[in-house]
Amino acid sequence: MRLGIIGLPQSGKTTVFNALTRGNQPTTMSGGRIEVHTGVVDVPDPRVDRLSEMFHPERTIYAKVTYADIAGLEGASSKSGISGTLLNQLSQMDGFVHVVRCFENASVPHPAGSVDPRRDIAAMDAELLLNDLIAVERKMERLVEERKKGGGRDKVVIERDIALFERLHQALSAEKPLRDIDISPEEEKALSGFGFLTRKPVLVLLNLSEGQSPPRIDYPHVHSAVVDLQGKLEMDLVQLSPDEAQVFMEEYGIQELGLQWVIGRSYELLGQQSFFTVGEDEVRAWTVRVGAPAVEAAGAIHTDLQKGFIRAEVVSYKDLTGLGGMAECRAKGKLHLEGKEYIVQDGDIVHVRFNI
């Protein structure tokens, strides 16, 4: 899972990136250059901690999220859209964390002359919308030309594609992101090769100064959420030693780092869930989409398990931790065998039986 951190200049993108990844990238401006820095972070999950306490494994591995700090967006793309190099980076992301400046800092003036989070959100949304609109219009031109020439694909398929892209065009022209419209599974296949930016989930992150209350922001879009983070404070905290950070947090009454919640929210926003494998060698959280069948979960562990899938032994996290072990779950009938089509639930402990 890859989430691109985007935002207008001086919004604090790299500060947030450093906080989330415990990194130390320079927070100075890139001068308009396209720069991408990546970091992989663990998804905080107390269930992994509890399972590790139960099984005392040699290794404990959490689910992962990759964040990419992407510089280069300015909030006002040209009439030709976002440049090819930058668009390539953005299209590869599974979703975006849009960092929105809410803090005042006289030494770091806002490029627009004032701090206005609603204006900045609208500016970034407009840039992504414009890029998708240009891409849709270009595709529509090619489809119309294909219909005129004939002799290629089935006319019914071409007409179906034209109808789909006309619907996309109508939404974008009304300043409606594509993630807000219903897409059928068949249409999903037709769009699989397009990296439309407004189809990607967005986590709007309000970047606050220390002690600042977040403004009320309504962002009523599908696959979207609004969170807040005291970016500079959290970046400073994660760059301290654990003991120093603990003393600081106790002194200021900070119960938990906000970045942990932001990371977890990112994971949920992408429609992902965790299932677990447990044993003396390893306790591990695996990532799979919500609604995935058992055979797909097996493939997340290893392709051989998916190819040779026979059955999955499944027990819920609640039953395992409540009863105290696998033997107890088996004795109480809580461990059950499931086939390929079983829909994996968040928190399932899964052991795959397979034969290659």
Give domain status of residue 216, yes or no: no
Q: What does the alpha-carbon distance between residue 71 and residue 94 come to, in Å, rounded to a whole number?
A: 17
How far, CA to CA in Å, does 37 sit from each of 30, 98, 206, 229, 321?
12, 16, 21, 20, 39
Number of residues assigned to the chain: 356
Give domain status of residue 277, yes or no: no
Which pTM value belongs to this model? Answer: 0.88
Give domain status of residue 264, yes or no: no
CB 61 within 8 A of CB 284: yes
Give domain status of residue 308, yes or no: yes
> Would you state the pLDDT for residue 33?
61
Instruction: Average pLDDT across each block of 10 residues of the chain; the chain has 356 residues. List them in order.
Output: 92 91 71 76 93 96 92 61 82 94 93 94 94 95 89 86 96 96 91 92 94 93 93 89 86 78 85 95 96 96 96 97 95 96 97 92
Q: What does the alpha-carbon distance between residue 347 and residue 314 come to, in Å, rounded to a whole number?
A: 10
N-terminal to C-terminal alpha carbon distance within the chain? 29
Give domain status of residue 321, yes or no: yes
Q: How many other β-carbons are positioned within 10 Å of the β-carbon of residue 160?
A: 14
Question: Residues near 187 by Cβ (< 8 Å), separated by ≥ 6?
Answer: 164
CB 138 within 8 A of CB 202: no
> Would you state the pLDDT for residue 15?
92
> Would you state the pLDDT for residue 180?
96
- Provide the CATH number for the domain around residue 319: 3.10.20.30
> Would you state the pLDDT for residue 57?
96
Question: Residues near 270 by Cβ (< 8 Å), separated by ≥ 6?
Answer: 1, 3, 94, 95, 201
For 280, the token pair is 């003396």
Give domain status of residue 319, yes or no: yes
> Would you state the pLDDT for residue 356?
79
Give domain status of residue 209, yes or no: no
What is the number of structural domains in the chain? 1
* Domain extent at residue 330: 291-354
CB 19 within 8 A of CB 235: yes
Which residues, listed in sequence order, are joined to residue 288 by a DSSP beta bridge? 273
Q: Which element (helix H / strand E) includes 312?
A: strand 309-315
